[in-house]
């Protein structure tokens, strides 16, 4: 049976593969650059490292990696850095900690991309009007909107605007946010930047979705067992696949009845047909468990997909 994060892996061979026509070659990331490890204190690899100490060590490395940067402060797991030109940027450490907390001895290699995230976010937010080449749509929990508002209120820099997200409702429990997908970071863009670029809710399936497709792997593998389907595309964009009508339509052809899906975590989407009541109940169990136990939950609800329209499944 298909499994959520923390359970067994999907079957070794996909049932079928959806080919993605990528329009461009992506820039390489910093993941393989061992030279970046020198910016991290060896302490970052120690077992039992606390979350607060982890934040401090990551902040120290960010400041060391680029001359002219200075640390304003760390509050509620948000690192606020000031650049030489006086501008500031925030780096939220939730994703870095989720990846690194259980891998002492291997953290430096996993943190190389995060080291460059602040620089890339700054570059992305400063793009000229009309440049949309790296903006992609992400599907996230509606709880994220209130959480980011709280972070903004408690940020070390009271003038920060980077946490006022551009977001649009999809269905009860899930929203679309826009993000800048750069080689070493995936940063949600603020509402002001989205307005500057002319991005609105109606653009969700236009330019940003085309960019998303160019950032996906060439092959989106779809695994299946007992009438349940799970697409995989590298771990960053699985939840966003529910916005891609071509991919969803390809899976709908394989199910009986209306297409039902759940997006329990950002990297887990499971689907079936509503004519298979046993499969629907199993999908519900997988989704509820994943949303309660996974590190990056989205929703514990089930949804219908009807030719691009998403609605809550009772």
| Residue 190 binned pLDDT confidence (cut-offs 50, 70, 90) | confident
| Residue 125 binned pLDDT confidence (cut-offs 50, 70, 90) | very low
Query: The tokens of 227 are what?
Result: 């009438």
pLDDT at res. 23: 53
Average pLDDT, the chain: 81
Burial code (b: 16+ CB inside 10 Å, e: under 16) for 228-266 equals bbbbbbeebbbbbbbbbeebbebbbebbeeebbbbbbbb
Which range scores top for mean pLDDT: 69-73, 201-205, 280-284?
280-284
The partner residues of 261 in beta bridges, in order of sequence, read: 271, 303
CA nearest 311: which of 265, 242, 251?
242
Strands (E) in the chain, as ranges, are 16-19, 70-75, 78-82, 88-92, 135-141, 167-171, 174-182, 185-188, 219-225, 228-232, 259-265, 268-273, 302-306, 309-313
pLDDT at res. 282: 96
pLDDT (tens digit, 9 = 90+) per residue, 107-120? 998 888 778 766 66
Query: The tokens of 254 are what?
Result: 């394989």
| Cβ-Cβ contacts under 8 Å for 72 (sequence gap 6 or more) | 80, 81, 82, 88, 156, 157
pLDDT at res. 8: 44
- Residue 277 predicted with pLDDT over 70: yes
pLDDT at res. 126: 46
pLDDT at res. 149: 66
- Rounded to two decimals, the pTM is 0.66
Determine the average pLDDT of the residues in 147-156. Answer: 59
Domain boundary assignment for the chain? 34-125, 135-213, 218-313
Which range scores top for mean pLDDT: 4-18, 118-132, 252-266?
252-266
| Residue 189 binned pLDDT confidence (cut-offs 50, 70, 90) | confident
pLDDT at res. 7: 46
- Residue 173 predicted with pLDDT over 80: yes
The residue that leads in pLDDT, 161 or 65, is: 65
pLDDT at res. 121: 60
| Cβ-Cβ contacts under 8 Å for 170 (sequence gap 6 or more) | 139, 176, 243, 310
pLDDT (tens digit, 9 = 90+) per residue, 211-226? 888 888 778 889 988 8
The partner residues of 91 in beta bridges, in order of sequence, read: 79
């Amino acid at each position: 049976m298909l499994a959520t994060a923390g359970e067994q892996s999907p079957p070794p061979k996909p049932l079928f593969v959806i080919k993605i026509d990528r329009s461009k070659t992506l820039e390489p990331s910093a993941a393989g650059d061992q030279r970046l490890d020198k910016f991290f204190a060896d302490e970052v690899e120690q077992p039992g490292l606390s979350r607060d100490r982890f934040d401090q060590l990551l902040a120290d490395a960010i400041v060391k990696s680029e001359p002219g940067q200075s640390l304003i402060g760390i509050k509620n797991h948000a690192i606020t850095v000031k650049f030489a030109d006086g501008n500031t940027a925030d780096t939220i450490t939730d994703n870095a900690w989720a990846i690194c907390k259980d891998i002492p001895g291997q953290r430096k290699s996993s943190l190389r991309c995060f080291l460059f995230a602040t620089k890339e976010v700054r570059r992305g937010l400063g793009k000229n009007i009309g440049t949309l080449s790296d903006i992609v749509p992400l599907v996230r929990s509606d709880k994220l909107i209130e959480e980011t508002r709280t972070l903004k209120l408690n940020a070390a820099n009271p003038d920060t605007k980077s946490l006022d997200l551009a977001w649009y409702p999809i269905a009860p429990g899930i929203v679309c946010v826009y993000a800048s997908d750069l080689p070493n970071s995936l940063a949600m863009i603020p509402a002001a930047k989205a307005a500057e670029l002319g991005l609105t809710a109606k653009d969700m399936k236009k330019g940003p979705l085309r960019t998303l497709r160019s950032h996906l792997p060439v092959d989106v593998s779809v695994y299946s067992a007992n009438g349940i389907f799970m697409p995989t595309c590298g771990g960053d964009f699985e939840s966003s696949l529910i916005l891609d009508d071509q991919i969803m339509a390809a899976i709908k052809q394989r199910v009986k009845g209306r297409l039902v899906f759940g997006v329990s975590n950002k990297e887990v989407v499971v689907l079936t047909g509503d004519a298979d009541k046993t499969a629907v109940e199993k999908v519900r169990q997988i989704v509820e468990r994943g949303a309660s136990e996974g590190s990056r939950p989205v929703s514990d609800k089930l949804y219908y997909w009807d030719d691009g329209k998403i609605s809550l499944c009772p």
